[in-house]
Amino acid sequence: MEFNLSDRQKEFKRIAKKFSNEVLKDKVKFFDENQQVPTEIIKQLYDHGFGAITIEEEYNGLGCGMLDFAVVIEEISKVCGSTALTLIGSSLGAIAIDLYGNESQKKKYLPDIADGKKLATFAVSESSAGSDISSMKTIVEECDDKYIMNGSKCWITNAEIADIYVVLSKGKGDKYSTFIVEKEFEGFKFGKKEDKLGMRSSSTGELIFQNCIIPKENLLYKSGEGMHMAGKILNYSRPIIGAQALGIAEGAFEDSIRYAKERKQFGKSISSFQIIKHILVDMYTEIEAARWLVYNACKKIDDNDEDIQVEASISKVFASNTAMKVTTNAIQILGGYGYIKEYPMEKRMRDAKVTQIYEGTNQILNNLAAKSLLNRY
């Protein structure tokens, strides 16, 4: 069944595809090898409005939905999932401010994010608190007219290149709250920059808070609501990770089918061997199923459905498992050419892996989906 995209969504998809193929494709290998963020390309993506899709129009955004954003992320990820990650990381910070910011916070931060003048990020994980975020050690104390934060966050996307950090922290009485931290705030600095298996053209690193001074007005929403807020923010973003994984799988599938038709062994095209045909059909089947799950989850968010935990979780789990399986099989179809760095397939497999890990590992997301399903039925 073809998912019904609006004309606007089809147009977003068309422009993102054209840009990714014409501008990004030839540079992907360089940025991956050099572990460098493609700053100029990211700027151009913002010039196209791709970083502003879900931000409200009064804050320089396009006022569109998650499905619009998902189709753009899918098309960019067909060519480079890692480039898409910089946009996803920033949009996660923007979603947090959009959902929970007051008028003056939105006015202050969202227009610069929408215009690409500043990147954002959402920082939750710590070295000893990944899946179990309640065990975090970063702590905030309220002091007269300010908050003082101490601790560190690790594996944060856009760490060193962002300007606006939405940070979840523990507070008094084991209550959790969320703060907007600016790069220039006193007591905030960067720690280790990570050297990664995949997503190498996205920046990942550590944030350190040493008596970091946060003005009172930078508390996001209400004190003590941080955990609940993080759940909602991540539910909005997980289908977007699904879209990223979907794009990685689609890129791998398209290259595999082209290669299978061209490559000859034993005097025949390898696509004439039944085993290869079946692998290709399995890839296609799972990609189509993943696309439906991802688009459906985004549509539920756009329809303001509050009961989205199941769809947000399973779309990310299924799409990321599909990306891992499809990229692994794609390397099998390409044989030696799949394994060497001259061609883009091995990068896709490296990039795919982390989609099973971040924004909640697939094991944790299955736990969350199960809990919601048991409540729903």
- Inter-axis angle of helices 226-262 and 274-302, to 10 degrees? 150
Q: How far is the CB of 191 from ligand FAD (least distance, A)?
A: 14
Query: Closer CB to ligand FAD, residue 211 or residue 363?
Result: 363
Residue nearest to ligand FAD (CB): 130
3-class secondary structure, 237:
helix
Greatest CA separation for the chain: 80
Angle at 231 between CA 65 and CA 135, to 5 degrees: 150
Residues 240/73, Cβ–Cβ less than 8 Å: yes
Minimum distance between the CB of residue 16 and ligand FAD, rounded to whole angstroms?
Answer: 22
175 token code pair: 């209550």
H or E stretch covering 319: helix 309-334
Q: How many CB atoms lie within 10 A of CB 23?
A: 16
Q: Minimal distance in Å, beta carbon 168 to ligand FAD? A: 8
Q: Is 182 a catalytic residue?
A: no
Q: Which is nearer to ligand FAD, 162 or 260 (CB)?
A: 162
Tell me whether residue 363 or residue 375 sits nearer to ligand FAD (CB atom): 363
Please, what is the minimum distance in Å from the beta carbon of residue 127 to ligand FAD? 8
Binding site for ligand FAD (CB under 6 A): 89, 121-125, 130-131, 155-157, 196, 199, 204, 354, 357-361, 363-364, 367
What is the smallest separation between the CB atom of 178 and ligand FAD, expressed in angstroms? 12
In whole angstroms, the minimum distance from the beta carbon of 349 to ligand FAD comes to 15
Q: How many angstroms separate the CA atoms of 319 and 81, rounded?
A: 13
Q: How far apart are the first and last CA of the chain?
A: 26
Closest by CA position to 292, among listed 305, 310, 278, 311: 311
- Cβ-based nearer residue to ligand FAD, 89 or 247: 89
Residue 253 Cβ, how far from ligand FAD at the closest point, in Å? 23
With CA atoms as reference, report the closest residue to 304 among 65, 5, 58, 51.
65
**DSSP character string of 132-152:** -GGG---EEEEETTEEEEEEE
Catalytic hit among 206, 286, 346, 359: 359
For residues 375 and 353, give the distance between their C-alpha atoms in angstroms, rounded to a whole number: 31
Phi, psi of 64 (to 5 degrees): -100, -170
Count other Cβ atoms within 10 Å, centred on residue 307.
10
When the beta carbons of 125 and 329 are compared against ligand FAD, the nearer one is: 125
CA dihedral angle for residue 82, residue 131, residue 308, residue 245, rounded to 10 degrees: 20
* 290 vs 318: CA distance, rounded Å: 6
Cβ(170)–Cβ(139) under 8 Å? Answer: yes
Q: Which are the catalytic amino acids?
A: 359
